[in-house]
Amino acid sequence: MNNFKWWQKTAVYQIYPKSFLDTTGSGTGDLNGITQKLDYLKNLGIGAIWLTPIYPSPQVDNGYDISDYTSIDPRYGTMKDFEKLISEADKRNIKIVMDLVYNHTSNQHKWFIESKSSKNNPKSDWYIWRDGDPKKPPTNWRSIFGGSAWTWCDERQQYYLHTFAVEQPDLNWENPEVRQALYDAANFWLEKGVGGFRIDAITYIKKPKKFIDGEPDNKDGSISVHTMTANTSGILDFLHEFKRKVFDNHDIFTVGEANGVSADELKNWVGDKGVFDMLFEFSHLVLPFTNGEIWCYPREWKLTELKKALSDSQNATKNNGWCPIFFENHDQPRCINHFMPKNSDPIKTAKALATILLTLRGTPFIYQGQELGFTNTAWDSIEKYNDISSHGQYQIALNEGFSPEQAMKFVHFFSRDNARTPMQWNEKINAGFTSGTSWLPIHDDYEKCNAEIETDDENSVLNYYIKLNDFRKNSETLLSGYYEEIFKDDENIFAFKRSSEKSKIYVLVNFTLNEVKFQADFLKNANLIFGNYQENEKGILRPLEAVIFEEAVK
């Protein structure tokens, strides 16, 4: 355990600053709000905070459209506030981790403004430009948020490529000047003392040599740009250079967001020969999708698929590499709704998922509100949604022939706003998030689901997270022990064993609303150490029951 790095021993907490705590009455959260809540986070036992982007941005995609990589957006505060956050966090042994959005910039970034101004300016080649007929984009690629991935620019009389929104033009990583400018920006934050980076949408930075049409996955003749460009061969050369020029020789961690990388490719991305310390791969999150990640064609998935997705990455990093364990982030439905049956008791469910999150091998990432048991929200009209992808996907559903009511159902389930409703601190007005008008409605369950109530309730979801996280930190078996799946083919129970020289830990979770029985001989000498019910009869799991047993090795 001694040769473990600090970021392997701790849990990381993800903050969506816009929705965390507003100290000015503006209706959006700010950096001073985060500083104010550091003791809450210390009490939760986390050692790092990943901040989603706080750089200047027109906010088309809530900060993932950056117009300046080395400043703070005034809506969040000043560079002084940021420095204060770093130093106050440091006093509590908490590191601040920044989000690097390097596949694209905002179309308001000065680099893009220059690039689009002509075909022969110094930055003309900093983005992906193609000739074409203004009425027919160069390929049939559909952007992730819907609509063509190409937008015509009158000024240059050319198209530019955008994997995401029209306002998020893709950078041209083939140009060494672009790469150096990005490395310089990351080094700027290292000098400020940040503890690491989450690297956004990284699988899209390398484009294919030839830009050609793909087989449509949609009635309008388009195909997802993801299918055509994600994880293109040659991408790792860029990332090795990135690592060499920025990450190496710093006591930080890096975690890449890598939709499109599968567990069997992990060895090239993490571990001794890899480019990052951890990789957010998506196989457990994309289970409800058919192809193209379109919301209106959801599919039923089986528990064995979820178990396989998680086990594959556990096994792939067994001897080399490390996993981030995550069930939520600012792009996903709340995990209670995502992974558990409809009408599940939220408290039992939240604890059941926490049980897995904090006992798999890897660094757990807790997304704000997850530790309180937040659930999805459902607003009645698309106008109430802020999330750009909800609007795009709603339109896709209508184009595919679904009624507005049906289209809204997809939005209710998948909308990224589910994860973005403000933090619920107390029972007071606006859940204590803001004294002004909140930028996004507060979830209507805030009177019973908030940090203040849960701090005082020893059986709350929050206190379950605190106790189990504390246990994990001090358990050699949970930190370093091997992972082995039990009851692999069972469609009701997710069960696994972690084992070290010290002990064997067994984790069992019932994913159904029924009582289930199992052969429990292997638990003969093990003691129950955690559970979301009081007591447990070995061999029986009540609805949504989660248990952790431990057996010392003699």
Give Dmax (Cα) for the chain: 75
- Give the burial class of 319: count Cβ atoms within 10 A of its Cβ; 0-12 exposed, 13-18 middle, 19 or more buried: exposed
Closest to ligand NOJ by CB, 257 or 454: 257
Please tell me the count of residues contacting ligand NOJ according to CB under 6 A. 9
Smallest separation, CB 204 to ligand NOJ (Å): 9
- For 326-393, where are the E strands, in sequence order? 363-367
Instruction: Give the nearest distance from C-beta 490 to ligand NOJ in angstroms.
Output: 33
- Among 167, 257, 281, 371, the active-site one is 257
In sequence order, which residues have a C-beta less than 8 Å from that of residue 373 and are 6 or more positions away? Answer: 336, 346, 347, 349, 350, 449, 461
Give φ, ψ of 547 to 5 degrees.
-135, 150
257 part of the active site: yes
CA distance 145 to 147: 7
391: left (phi over 0), alpha (psi -120 to 50) or beta: alpha
Q: How far is the CB of 168 from ligand NOJ (least distance, A)?
A: 7
Distance separating alpha carbons of residues 196 and 68, to the nearest angstrom: 19
**In the complex, least distance from residue 431 CB atom to ligand NOJ, rounded to whole angstroms:** 23
Binding marks (x or -) toward ligand NOJ, 245..274, rule CB under 6 A? Answer: ------------x-----------------
Helix, strand, or coil here: 164?
Answer: coil
Side chain identity, residue 258: A
Size of the chain, expressed as the number of residues it contains: 554
Query: What is the C-alpha to C-alpha distance for residues 333 and 8, in angstroms, rounded to an integer?
Result: 26
Q: Measure the CA angle with vertex 284, ends 513 and 397; round to 5°.
A: 90
Contact between residue 362 and residue 472 where contact means Cβ atoms under 8 Å apart: no
Among 13, 50, 64, 141, indicate the residue that binds ligand NOJ (CB under 6 A).
64
* Closer residue to ligand NOJ, CB minimum distance, 365 or 518: 365
Q: Which is nearer to ligand NOJ, 227 or 480 (CB)?
A: 227
C-alpha–C-alpha distance, residues 386 and 208, integer Å: 33
Distance (Å, whole) CA 530 – CA 536: 10
DSSP per residue over 190-242, as a string?
HHTT--EEEETTGGGSSPPSS------SSTTS-EEHHHHHTT-TTHHHHHHHH
Amino acid, res. 495: A
Q: Does 200 bind ligand NOJ (CB under 6 A)?
A: yes
By CB under 6 A, the residues from 83 to 102 that bind ligand NOJ are 101
For ligand NOJ, the closer CB: 199 or 523? 199
Does the annotation mark 331 as catalytic? no
Question: Which residues are 527's β-sheet partners?
Answer: 550
| CA proximity to 208, closest of 186, 192, 230 | 230
320-339 binders of ligand NOJ (CB under 6 A): 330-331
Which tokens go with 141?
Answer: 């690629």
Among 30, 61, 293, 550, binds ligand NOJ (CB under 6 A): 61
Please select the residue that binds ligand NOJ; options are 160, 164, 365, 518, rule is CB under 6 A.
164
Catalytic residue among 30, 81, 200, 550: 200
Burial class of residue 499 in the structure, from the number of CB atoms within 10 Å of its CB (0-12 exposed, 13-18 middle, 19+ buried): middle
Q: For residue 311, which of 541, 486, 550 has the smallest C-alpha distance? A: 486
Give me the least distance between CB of 249 and ligand NOJ, in Å please: 28
User: Closest CB to ligand NOJ among 65 and 371?
Assistant: 65
Helices (H) and strands (E) in the chain, counts: 17, 20
Task: Give the span between the Cα atoms of 14 and 18, in whole angstroms.
Answer: 12
In the bound complex, which residue of the shown chain has the CB atom lying closest to ligand NOJ? 64
Least spacing, CB of residue 197 vs ligand NOJ, in Å: 13
As annotated, the active-site residues are 200, 257
The binding site for ligand NOJ (CB under 6 A) comprises: 61, 64, 101, 164, 200-201, 257, 330-331
